Amino acid sequence: MDQFKNIGVIGRMGSAKVVESLRELKRYLISNDYHVIIEEETATMLPGHSLQVASKKLLGEICDLVIVVGGDGSLLGAARELAKSKIPLLGVNRGRLGFLTDIGPAELEEKLGKVLAGDYIEETRFLLDGFVERNGQPLGFGTALNDVVLHPGKSTRMIGFDLFIDGHFVYSQRSDGLIVATPTGSTAYSLSAGGPIMHPKLDAIALVPMFPHTLSSRPIVVDGKSEIKLVVGETNETYPQISFDGQMNISCAPGDIIRITKKPFKIRLIHPTDHNFYATCRDKLGWASEITAG
């Protein structure tokens, strides 16, 4: 019996390249007798597809595998929606970077065939949950695979906030904000702010200040089980925002408390067997591939 008999498909909207790969994917899966369920928004890009259609939530309940066609952002969105279902995700890259979506369009059938035959690597990645409180009452909640970010929104003013880790006061800071990143997110926004690259297997969280007022403010890496608490300074003249993977924003007021912890559910990522984190870094970050002779 096939391990992945019922296969869900999610595609990034508004891309001709994604539609091209979706058609190829549909043709390949159906010709190999897989049951294909297409996500409801994605289905609108394939008129006359004659496939079963389902919401993202339902995909998590009825599929053995979900294939995401797009870029890393598409996979991030699917991961946040499907984390509770524990369904493995496989990414086909039709975006730009592709740290998570590592099957290229030219090798789709070859690499997908190997994965479906059981020849693959599986890894888990943890997500972060963020809770915003105002006067002791819950104000908002979000989930991120990459990062939870406190930022000034459209304002150009610095934000004042206090940082606590596991109940211990760490510092008060004035800066453009703070990036709280997972190892997955360490090669995303956090990297551009000077944060460390963390191997995906690490159980750790990076706290990366954004343009801090003092040069002594440096990124801190803490245990993945830590509770991060941010208290927005009472004297702030601006109302900063908290964002989750750059998508969802919650407006905060002076005195609000943001609590960030590891989500209890992890996502499962499927990779071809030739997947290698350091090779991906070389490819995507432009690292030298060999020592040049002197």
Catalytic (active-site) positions = 72
Q: What are phi and psi of 167, to 5 degrees?
A: 85, -5
Closest CA to 146 of 96, 180, 195, 102: 180
Q: How many CB atoms lie within 10 A of CB 90?
A: 26
For the chain, what's the residue count? 294
Strands (E), the chain: 6-11, 35-39, 52-54, 65-70, 88-93, 120-134, 137-144, 147-151, 159-165, 168-175, 177-181, 204-210, 220-223, 228-232, 241-244, 248-251, 257-272
Residue 288's φ and ψ, nearest 5 degrees, are: -65, 140
Residues 176 and 156: beta-carbon distance below 8 Å: no
**Which two structure tokens, joined as six digits, stand for 134?**
């105002």
The phi and psi torsions of 59 (rounded to 5 degrees) equal: -55, -40
Q: Which residue has the tokens 């970050």?
A: 285
- 34 SS3 class: coil
165, amino acid identity: I
- b/e 14-28 (16+ beta carbons within 10 angstroms → b): ebeebbebbebbbeb
Distance separating alpha carbons of residues 82 and 76, to the nearest angstrom = 10
Residue 17, classed as helix, strand or coil, is: helix
